[in-house]
Structure 1
Amino acid sequence: MVTVIIPAAGQGKRMKTSSNKVFLPLVNMPVLLHSVLAFSACSEVNNLVVVVAIDEVEQVRTMLSSLRGIKAWQVVIGGSERQHSIANALKVVSKETEVVLVHDGARPLVTESCIQAVIKAARMHRAAVVAVAVKDTIKTVDADGWVTGTPERRTLWAIQTPQGFDAHLLQQAYEKARLEGYIGTDDASLVERLGIQVKIVPGSYDNLKITTPEDLTIAEALLIERKRELKGCAAESMVRVGMGYDVHKLVEGRKLILGGVEIPYIHGLEGHSDADVVLHAIKDALLGAAALGDIGKHFPDTDVQYKGASSILLLKRVGDILEEHGYAVNNIDATIVAERPKVAAYIPEMNHNIAAALRIDLGQVNVKATTTEGLGFAGKGEGIAAHAVASIFKR
């Protein structure tokens, strides 16, 4: 079991606001709720313990009650120091908890991948913290403002949250600190005093802590950009599906062409073009998936240039139209409905023709055939129908 403690009892004086900074709006939502939702989205997290000032308990309970789909939670009263607040939270952590994460309520940009990485590291090493390598040169300075040294930058990391620990280990570290009256700068510093090594988990510079008004502005810009990217990825990866259906009458004096294959038979299909019902259904399915109308719109039977036209050539044109709109074919599945002639022997060639026309792999095309057991126009040999389903995606 994984329990997350979210301390949010600080007043944030550097924000120059009279209210708790975690209640400030950030992209239409309080800062605190971004952190809560981030951990609720992680499948490995089981419980949340939010720590707030005594006069903010009911406010936070109301906020959390309004959120849908969040993990089991409870609100705990904080203390005069961050360390005291987390000590209060540890008192209510279930004995079944194996890993405890501690995360600042004022770090709203934490990602699910970061959370999962810390949990994994905490399980493996017992203690782990998110951190980023320091970019700037750091100087040590004395009380009078004189530089006393320049630490090797490659050994310096800026520590963030979440920090993850074996639950019993963290309890032990906090008890030792209490008994000795020690106040650390973070949870890891308490664990280090037990002689335990803490593993660094590389984090992100975006995982900033809201401390000043400028931080809030930066966080808003980052969140808006993140949402824009997610929408873009969703749109780009979206699979669209279309369906097509066509039917033509069997008549004398016409060639029977199905899937671009000429099939020997006493009758052929009547139509303005070559009346290939299979390809007509596939073209309609493809155009439908892209919301680009149907073959009647693109190849009207009132246009003489399409009289007797090869449906294979028109299928190639449909492929070009899709490409012009940024789409690629994912797969095609079609069914021929005909009592006779028997077409099973010709299906491999149909699949090949369709794949070649659309410049896709043979494995992306599947043509089948069935009968209606003598029922209806197809069963009586009066005509042939075809159904098709096609899926496409944005390139």
Structure 2
Amino acid sequence: MVTVILPAAGQGKRMSNQTNKVFIPLQNRPVLIHSVLAFSACPEVDNLIIAAAATEVAVVKEMLAAVPGIKPWQVVVGGSERQYSIANALQVTPAAAAVILVHDAARPLIQPAMISRMIIAAREFKAAGLAVPLKDTVKKIDEEGFVTETPARRTMWIMQTPQAFDAAILRRAYAQAGRDGFLGTDDASLVERLGVRVKLVEGSYSNVKITTPEDIITAEALLKKGREPDMLRFGMGYDVHRLVEGRKLILGGVEVPHIHGLDGHSDADVLLHAIKDAMLGAAALGDIGRHFPDTDPQYKGISSLSLLGKVKDIIASKGYMVNNIDATIVAEKPKLAPYIGKMIANIAAKLMIDIDMVNVKATTTEGLGFAGKREGIAAYAVVSIMKDACVIK
């Protein structure tokens, strides 16, 4: 069994932000979720343990519960120091775990291939750390700031995470550090104190740690660079429903006051139906009728906003996430402008994308056709989706 510990309880004081840095959005999803998805995409990993601040445990649990397909996980309360957080996580690590990896949750660009290499190294050498060669010359100085030594650059490496260990060795290292009152800067330093040699595995300079605001800019650029042109796909959706008496008018998950509502098996939210069809079309996965047939009683009266979340999960299972949405509602009445902002907010929240990635408009047909005669409402939607490098395949 391979267990991964992700310490995520740090305050990130250098971010100049009141929000925990692992909650900061990066390409439309929190930094923490990028890390969790990367490890979940590694076939050798069995389970995850996230150490969160006591005040943020509930937030992290809710965040993880909203992500489909991730490996089995649990959240523990972290400590005032990174080392204490990992010690708490070790207390709940399964006894069957043979290899334990520790990874800074604030390193969201780690790749599954690197994780696999670390697991192999841990099994062979018992202790391994991901690292990159130092590019710059390093100087050792005295207390007055004068150079006392210039270490050979070829012998200097910068440590990263994950670091991977034989489970028994890591447990022993933490127990010894606890008895000695020793506080290390990484897990390898604790293992080294036992006399165990740590094998370095070359990582990547793109495996950046989010520490300062500049790191977010760097990570965004690296993620954008990693998305190839053929990773972007487009789909179009169209839907129409008849206006009838005795039904609520639901558009974009918002109840709009009106004398008529839309007729349909579900809540007949014509806007969300068009968007869902566009999402499925972009991924070449059919339409909503195929996935949620109106002959199935479980979908009678169901919220289309709820089904939007299910469509998000469906395209995610094929490696896609929504990039942006442009939709138009065609209705003579009622006036929809006061409700469009809430519609956009509903859609963005359900799809876990930025609100500025969603555009909803409303227009009339100047009295022409079924919409102009107030017999029904139609909606058009164009959606772009993109391959998500971190999403579960």
Pick the TM interval, shorter chain: 0.5 to 0.7
Letter in 1 for 2:200: I
2:34 alignment partner, SS class? helix
Shift of 1:189: 0.4
2:96 is matched with which residue? 96
Letter in 2 for 1:123: R
Shift of 1:230: 7.4
CA distance in 2, matches of 1:135, 1:12: 26
1:223 is matched with which residue? 223
Change (3 A) 1:92 1:230: farther
Letter in 1 for 2:168: H
Letter in 1 for 2:138: I
Letter in 1 for 2:213: P
Identity of aligned residues (%): 59
CA distance in 1, matches of 2:46, 2:93: 11
Corresponding position: 1:72 with 2:75: no
The higher-RCO structure (CA 8 Å, 6+ apart) is 2
CA deviation profile, 1:16-44 (whole Å, cap 9, x unmatched): 00110000010000001000000000110
Change (3 A) 1:196 1:109: same
2:351 is matched with which residue? none
Letter in 2 for 1:111: Q
1:45 alignment partner, SS class? coil
2:182 is matched with which residue? 182
CA distance in 2, matches of 1:209, 1:228: 23
TM-score, normalised to structure 1's length?
Answer: 0.58
CA distance in 2, matches of 1:147, 1:141: 4
CA deviation profile, 1:254-297 (whole Å, cap 9, x unmatched): xxxxxxxxxxxxxxxxxxxxxxxxxxxxxxxxxxxxxxxxxxxx
1:118 is matched with which residue? 118
Q: Which runs of 5+ in 1 are unaligned?
A: 236-395
How many matched pairs?
233
CA distance in 2, matches of 1:163, 1:179: 22
Corresponding position: 1:23 with 2:20: no
CA distance in 1, matches of 2:227, 2:22: 21
Shift of 1:227: 2.2
CA deviation profile, 1:338-361 (whole Å, cap 9, x unmatched): xxxxxxxxxxxxxxxxxxxxxxxx
1:85 is matched with which residue? 85
CA deviation profile, 1:99-135 (whole Å, cap 9, x unmatched): 0000000000000110000000000000000000000
1:302 is matched with which residue? none
1:146 is matched with which residue? 146
CA distance in 1, matches of 2:2, 2:140: 38
Corresponding position: 1:203 with 2:203: yes
Shift of 1:143: 2.1
Shift of 1:225: 1.3
Shift of 1:146: 1.4
CA distance in 1, matches of 2:188, 2:229: 34
Shift of 1:215: 0.5
Letter in 1 for 2:217: T
1:91 alignment partner, SS class? helix
Letter in 2 for 1:39: F
1:130 alignment partner, SS class? strand
Letter in 2 for 1:93: T
1:317 is matched with which residue? none
1:62 alignment partner, SS class? helix
CA distance in 2, matches of 1:230, 1:47: 32
Shift of 1:148: 1.4
Shift of 1:229: 6.4
User: Which structure has the greater CA radius of gyration?
Assistant: 1
CA distance in 2, matches of 1:37, 1:12: 22
Q: Alignment RMSD, CA only?
A: 1.2
TM-score, normalised to structure 2's length?
Answer: 0.58
2:104 alignment partner, SS class? coil
CA distance in 2, matches of 1:52, 1:144: 40
1:258-297 equivalence runs, <5 A: none
Change (3 A) 1:230 1:194: farther
CA deviation profile, 1:231-273 (whole Å, cap 9, x unmatched): 28xx9xxxxxxxxxxxxxxxxxxxxxxxxxxxxxxxxxxxxxx
CA distance in 2, matches of 1:127, 1:16: 35
Letter in 1 for 2:26: L
Change (3 A) 1:174 1:204: same
CA distance in 2, matches of 1:147, 1:14: 28
Corresponding position: 1:46 with 2:26: no
CA deviation profile, 1:175-215 (whole Å, cap 9, x unmatched): 00000000011000000000000001000000010000000
1:351 is matched with which residue? none
CA distance in 2, matches of 1:106, 1:129: 17
Letter in 1 for 2:75: V
CA distance in 2, matches of 1:192, 1:184: 10
Shift of 1:228: 2.6
Shift of 1:144: 1.8
CA distance in 2, matches of 1:51, 1:144: 40
Letter in 1 for 2:165: F
Corresponding position: 1:36 with 2:36: yes
Corresponding position: 1:109 with 2:109: yes
2:192 is matched with which residue? 192
Q: Which runs of 5+ in 2 are unaligned?
A: 234-393
